[in-house]
Amino acid sequence: MKKQIIVTGGAGFIGSNLIEALNTRGEDNILVVDDLGQDEKWHNLVGLNYADYMGKDDFRFRLRNDSLGKADTVYHLGACSSTTERNAAFLADNNYLFSCELCEWCLRHGARFIYASSAATYGDGTEGYGDDLDRITRLKPLNMYGYSKQMFDLWALNRGLLDKIAGIKYFNVYGPREAHKDDMRSMVHKAWDQIRKTGKVRLFKSYHPRYRDGEQLRDFLYVRDAAAATMFLADNQKANGIFNCGSGTKHTWLDLAKAVFAAMQLEPQIEFIEMPDFLRRRYQYETEADISNLRKAGYTAEFIPLDAGIREYIGYLKAGGQ
């Protein structure tokens, strides 16, 4: 009998790619949970195989009334992921309380619970980017989105639940099905769009003496790798705790921009622009996932190199993908 799977945020960027990966291995008994709203996110579900769709509000109502039925695995990826969202009450409810409710339901009903934390919990990196549990209480996120994810990590830690569930901290993910994210799209998609319209890419100037313009560093992760690592954690019941999900390699924004130009067979044209004031206090200048715990858990797959991932993604966009 096929597993009964729930994917919250299933019409979103990582969620829809996860469903595609599940389909590839024959899994289609999937309940997609999302809030489709009025944007173009519904396009992400086209061509995917799943059993049913449920709106987020209806899902939460049934969750609270314990009338959902059953599930073998729950991938909880649904959240507001905007790092500039300022409605703290909304984020606390949508990202934190919803996660608590769903986690408790999974534990009561024996469902494997995999949830998305975030690399935004690491803040400015002062405490490093290791995912050991004794580090969680010391982290200081720079924005409310990151803190809403930190709130749930702390809730699970304080209740001793991280030996029963698995959290995954995605770093800078890029790839197909992200067009609906608008300002929260990856810089790969934004660069592709800017080059088509203006012939050049605009990057933020640096306001930190250790980093020249465009040399701020990020760990970029192709979404296909994000989906694969997420399924690995679901499949391995002993892989519990919180795990970084990144390539383990950092690159500059200039590296990324030049790779996009190369994939489009164009010479780089890059302009540096002022960073908005409200971002300057909350900006991460360097991230790099420590993936040693993911490796210790048994994940051996190699991550797609940045230039190769960008070439594949630009090919997808050239073919009309979103």
Confidence (pTM): 0.95
Q: What mean pLDDT is predicted for residues 189-200?
A: 97
Number of domains the chain contains: 2
Gap between the Cα atoms of 194 and 191, Å rounded? 5
Same domain, 151 and 294: yes
Q: Are residues 60 and 197 in the same domain?
A: no
- Contact assessment for residue 252 and residue 216, using Cβ atoms and an 8 Å cutoff: yes
Residues 42 and 53: their CA atoms lie apart, in Å, by 11
Is pLDDT of 38 > 80? Answer: no
Spatial separation of the C-alpha atoms in residues 160 and 154, rounded to whole Å: 10
The separation between CA 173 and the C-alpha centre of its own chain, rounded to angstroms, equals 6
Q: Which of 24, 25, 22, 43 lies closest to 34 in space, CA to CA?
A: 43
CA dihedral 240, 63, 27, 76 (to 10 degrees): -40
Residues 101 and 153 in one domain: yes
Return d(Cα 256, Cα 215) in angstroms, integer: 10
Q: What is the mean pLDDT of residues 137-153?
A: 94
> Per-residue confidence at 306, pLDDT binned at 50, 70, 90?
very high
User: What is the CB neighbour count within 10 angstroms for residue 320?
Assistant: 6
Is residue 25 within 8 A of residue 50, CB to CB? The reply is: no
Q: Please give the backbone phi and psi of residue 160, each rounded to the nearest 5 degrees, phi first.
A: 65, 30
Q: What percent of the chain has pLDDT over 70?
A: 100
Please compute the mean of the pLDDT values over residues 228-241 and round it to a whole number.
97
- Token readout for 187 is 């810089």
Same domain for 231 and 276? Answer: no
Give dist(CA 56, CA 33) in Å, integer: 6
Q: Which of 96, 145, 170, 174 is catalytic?
A: 145
Looking at the fold, whether 262 and 230 belong to one and the same domain comes out as: no
Contacts 24+ apart (CB under 8 A), 22-30: 22/231, 23/48, 23/49, 26/2, 27/2, 27/3, 28/2, 29/2, 29/3, 29/4, 29/5, 30/5, 30/6
Position 1 pLDDT exceeds 80: no
Rounded Cα distance, 184 and 193, in Å: 14
> Which domain covers residue 54, as residue numbers?
5-171+220-247+287-303
Whether 117 and 195 share a structural domain:
no
- pLDDT, residue 37, reads 81
- Sign of the Cα torsion 4, 63, 93, 90 reads positive
**Active-site pick, 181, 200, 211, 299:** 181
Q: Across residues 146-151, what is the average pLDDT?
A: 95
305, two tokens: 């190199």
In the predicted model, what is the mean pLDDT of residues 229-245? 97
Phi, psi of 280 (to 5 degrees): -60, -35
**285 catalytically annotated:** no
CATH of the domain at 131: 3.40.50.720
43 and 98, same structural domain? yes
User: Are the beta carbons of 244 and 171 closer than 8 angstroms?
Assistant: yes
- Mean per-residue pLDDT of the chain: 95
Q: What is the pLDDT of residue 154?
A: 98
Tell how far CA 48 is from the center of its chain: 20
Residue 85 has pLDDT above 90, yes or no: no
- Regarding whether 297 and 153 lie in a shared domain, the answer is yes
39 and 124 part of one domain? yes
Q: Indicate the range of 39-43, 98-102, 290-294, 305-309 predicted with least confidence.
A: 39-43
Q: CATH number, domain at 280?
A: 3.90.25.10
pLDDT of residue 75: 98
Query: Which candidate, 76, 95, 93, places its Cα nearest to that of 31?
Result: 76
**238 annotated active-site:** no
55, 89: one domain: yes
Does residue 16 sit in the same domain as residue 151?
Answer: yes
pLDDT, residue 84, reads 79
- Count other Cβ atoms within 10 Å, centred on residue 274: 9
Indicate the pLDDT class of residue 299, thresholds 50, 70 and 90. very high
Residue 230, pLDDT above cutoff 80: yes
Give, rounded to a whole angstrom, the gap between the first and last alpha carbons of the chain. Answer: 34
Q: How far apart are CA 221 and CA 227, in angstroms?
A: 10
Per-residue model confidence as pLDDT tens digits over 255-290 = 999 999 999 999 999 999 999 988 887 788 999 999
Q: What is the mean pLDDT of residues 185-208?
A: 97
pLDDT tens, 88-100?
A: 999 999 999 999 9
Whether residue 252 has pLDDT greater than 90 = yes
Nearest to 59 by CA among 10, 114, 120, 116: 10
The pLDDT tens digits of the residues spanning 99-135 come to: 999 999 999 999 999 999 999 999 988 899 999 999 9
Q: Is 201 found in the same domain as 262?
A: yes
